């Protein structure tokens, strides 16, 4: 069991995205227990915090969980939304023209309010969500899903959202809800990308040691949109690359508790890991027909 | 729930392997309830049944289970070993010089007896097993594992056999038990090949419809060894191809109950499916360093 560590979807997403971007803004809310040192680290990496509200005398969002033996599934022991209950996002003026928007996993009401404040339709909106909102706020969730380009959820959530066993059928149903692409995150089993009538499978790197998978999904999302924002290419071919980049970053995230490893990862580290992905799935085969 | 269907590891393994081989022998035992029509189909595909004992007045092995919602995990409802309790394998003379031996999932005592009867060490021995034998016959199981070249088990079994969470560590421990290679089958999440200091990941094809995954592991094993026996190349590069071929065949197996789909699959079908695997994992990426 780890001690309490700083977290939050926005922290992981922005740290990962900042590897590819000079400048980005963050919208969220924390209590005054959130460490100034982490905020400074974000600023140092070009993350604008105008959109981060710090509520005096309140506590930050807190989550505690226990990972199962395979480090892939987990039970939530405690969730304290704390300040997140007060989150009424107000986008600073310059955020409103951002071409790339990542909606972290939060109340779809909040996600919708962010989109409402954009001056015009962003070039790309990626949305993360989870089963909690499917259970508690499905109508609103569907409304927001209809407004985004890419949805990222895990395999159980894809099945829950669509009511289909088969991930192929689930993907077809979810794509009919609005998004052009669906990313199905499967933790240690990799990720699938559906859309444009195609499917791509990215493996997860088998790791010697998984210390803490918390934040891996957010790190994936941050690397994914960061790479897309940098390359400004939304083709299926480039989305595949973005998935590999996001998966590589997520693998670093699992190697230490919290944001530690992510703070020190270099471009060279990423390149090396991407090369491991290339080798991991590489095969050549003569077709067997004679 | 399916009705009762003909099954047995040997049926799936030999049907799959027969796609690549002119001639092969099968050693097993069935009751006189085993349909003659299936035996004829096996013979038609070049499967020699001299080694198949038919016990009068006895019942064939019976397994019934319920697959979970994701069609990936299952509960055993009933296992009746029946005739398998009487299996004391006696290899016909010409089987004893077979260069390729696939030990299907059975009591390791039986698997060991097969190896004992070989005239010389075969060129390649592949062994399948399961958690049941780890729970009930570990010492004997370890003895046989030490005598084989390639072990195929699922991810939970790799963790059980090694006592390690991480599949990388699990693989290292299992390879130290004797086999040169380890194949970790993960059902809808694909398969991993460990050995020679390398790792390869083969995805499973996302299927529109999974009717019945029973026999998919055995079909995989049959395709895997059938391809290796045909190509007679045991390099890591060729093992990767064998995994893709085995995975392709396993995907056909899931599309219908029992052996139906497997009986009609053509070389062209396999080629087409292998092409889908190629596309599924294909990506190109410029490294991100600048």
| Average confidence (pLDDT) over B220-229 | 96
Q: Tell me: the pLDDT tens digits for B16-25?
A: 999 999 999 9
Position A68 pLDDT exceeds 60: no
Strands B100-103 and B124-128 come out as: parallel
Residue B26: its pLDDT value, please? 92
Instruction: Count CB pairs under 8 A between chains A and B.
Output: 135
CATH superfamily of B9-281: Ribokinase (3.40.1190.20)
Residue B254: its pLDDT value, please? 75
Contact (CB<8Å) B288/A227: yes
By percentage, how much of chain A surpasses pLDDT 70? 86
Residue B161: its pLDDT value, please? 98
Residue A226: its pLDDT value, please? 96
Residue A2: its pLDDT value, please? 43
pLDDT, greater one: B169 or A80: B169
Contact (CB<8Å) B227/A288: yes
Question: What distance in Å separates the CA atoms of residue A174 and residue A177, rounded to the nearest whole number?
Answer: 5
B240 — contact with chain A (CB < 8 Å)? yes
- pLDDT band of residue B1 (cuts 50, 70, 90) is very low
Q: Which B residues, 99 through 118, put their C-beta within 8 Å of a C-beta on chain A?
A: none
- The pTM of the full predicted model, rounded to 2 decimals, is 0.86
pLDDT, averaged across chain B: 88
A285 — contact with chain B (CB < 8 Å)? yes
Residue A59: its pLDDT value, please? 77
Structure tokens given for B241: 């191809």
Is this complex scored with an ipTM above 0.90?
no
Using a CB-CB cut-off of 8 Å, the residues of chain A touching B285 are: 241, 244-245, 274, 278
pLDDT, greater one: B61 or A270: A270
Q: Tell me: the pLDDT tens digits for A130-188?
A: 999 999 999 999 999 999 999 999 999 999 999 998 999 999 999 999 999 999 999 88
Position A1 pLDDT exceeds 60: no
B289 — contact with chain A (CB < 8 Å)? yes
Question: What distance in Å separates the CA atoms of residue B28 and residue B89, rounded to the nearest whole number?
Answer: 7
| Average confidence (pLDDT) over A108-135 | 96
Residue B2: its pLDDT value, please? 42
- Distances in Å between the Cα of A105 and the Cα atoms of A15, A215, B189 are 16, 11, 25
Count the Cβ atoms, other than its own, within 10 Å of residue B229. 21
Strands B198-202 and B191-195 come out as: antiparallel
- Distances in Å between the Cα of B13 and the Cα atoms of A142, A199, B219 are 46, 29, 5
A211 — contact with chain B (CB < 8 Å)? no
Q: Tell me: the pLDDT tens digits for A239-282?
A: 999 999 999 999 988 777 667 788 888 889 999 999 999 999 98
Q: Pick the residue from chain A with its C-alpha nearest to B289.
A: A267
Q: Running DSSP on this structure, what letter comes out for residue B123?
A: S
pLDDT, averaged across chain A: 88
| Average confidence (pLDDT) over B103-116 | 95
Position A283 pLDDT exceeds 60: yes
Q: Tell me: the pLDDT tens digits for A86-112?
A: 788 999 999 999 999 999 999 999 999
By percentage, how much of chain A surpasses pLDDT 90? 62
Which residues, in sequence order, are bridge partners of residue A130? none
Residue showing tokens 């997860």: A204
Residue A188: its pLDDT value, please? 86
CA distance B33 to chain A (A): 34
B152-187 b/e (C-beta count within 10 Å ≥ 16 → b):
bbbbebbbbbbebbbbbbbbbebbeeebbbbbbbbb
pLDDT, greater one: B242 or B88: B242
A235 — contact with chain B (CB < 8 Å)? no
Question: What distance in Å separates the CA atoms of residue B159 and residue A69, rounded to the nearest whole number?
Answer: 9
Closest CA to A17 of A231, A218, A222, A265: A222
**Which residues touch B152 (CB under 8 Å, ≥6 apart)?**
B126, B127, B128, B182, B183, B185, B217, B220, B221, B224
CA distance B85 to chain A (A): 34
Residue B8: its pLDDT value, please? 78
Residue B32: its pLDDT value, please? 85
- pLDDT band of residue B68 (cuts 50, 70, 90) is low
Residue B74: its pLDDT value, please? 63
A167 — contact with chain B (CB < 8 Å)? yes
Closest CA to B90 of B61, B116, B127: B116
| Among A121-135, A262-276, B81-95, the least confident range | B81-95
Residue showing tokens 């009487």: B86
Contact (CB<8Å) A202/B280: no
Give the domain ranges of chain A.
9-281
Residue A267: its pLDDT value, please? 85
Question: What distance in Å separates the CA atoms of residue B119 and residue B127, rounded to the nearest whole number?
Answer: 18
pLDDT, greater one: A80 or B163: B163
Using a CB-CB cut-off of 8 Å, the residues of chain A touching B68 are: none
Closest CA to A125 of A107, A99, A105, A94: A99
Residue B284: its pLDDT value, please? 86
Question: What distance in Å separates the CA atoms of residue A72 and residue A69, rounded to the nearest whole number?
Answer: 8
Contact (CB<8Å) B284/A241: yes
Best to test chain B binding among A162, A281, A282 (most B CBs inside 10 Å)? A281
Residue A64: its pLDDT value, please? 64
Residue B176: its pLDDT value, please? 98
Residue A81: its pLDDT value, please? 67
Using a CB-CB cut-off of 8 Å, the residues of chain A touching B192 are: 206
């Amino acid at each position: 069991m780890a001690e309490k560590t700083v977290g939050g979807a926005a922290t992981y997403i922005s740290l990962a995205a900042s590897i590819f971007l000079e400048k980005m803004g963050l919208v969220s809310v924390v209590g005054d227990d959130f460490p100034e040192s982490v905020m400074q680290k974000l600023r140092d990496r070009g993350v604008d915090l105008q959109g981060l509200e710090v509520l005096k005398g309140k506590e930050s969002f807190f989550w505690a969980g226990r990972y199962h033996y395979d480090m892939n599934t987990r039970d939530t022991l405690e969730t304290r939304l704390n300040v997140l209950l007060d989150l009424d996002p107000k986008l600073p003026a310059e955020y409103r023209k951002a071409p790339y928007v990542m909606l972290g996993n939060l109340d779809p009401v909040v996600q919708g309010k962010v989109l409402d404040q954009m001056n015009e339709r962003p070039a790309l909106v990626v949305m993360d969500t989870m089963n909690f909102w499917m259970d508690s706020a499905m109508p609103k969730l569907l409304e927001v899903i209809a407004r985004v380009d890419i949805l990222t959820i895990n395999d159980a959530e894809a099945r829950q959202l669509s009511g289909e066993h088969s991930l192929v059928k689930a993907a077809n149903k979810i794509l009919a809800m609005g998004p052009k692409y669906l990313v199905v995150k499967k933790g240690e089993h990799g990720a699938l990308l559906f859309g444009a009538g195609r499917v791509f499978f990215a493996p997860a790197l088998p790791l010697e040691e998984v210390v803490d998978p918390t934040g891996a999904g957010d790190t994936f999302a941050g690397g994914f949109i960061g790479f897309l924002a940098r390359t400004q290419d939304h083709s299926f071919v480039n989305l595949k690359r973005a998935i590999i980049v996001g998966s590589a970053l997520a693998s670093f995230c699992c190697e230490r508790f919290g944001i530690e490893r992510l703070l020190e990862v270099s471009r060279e580290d990423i390149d090396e890991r991407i090369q491991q992905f290339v080798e991991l799935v590489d095969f050549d085969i003569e077709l067997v027909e004679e």
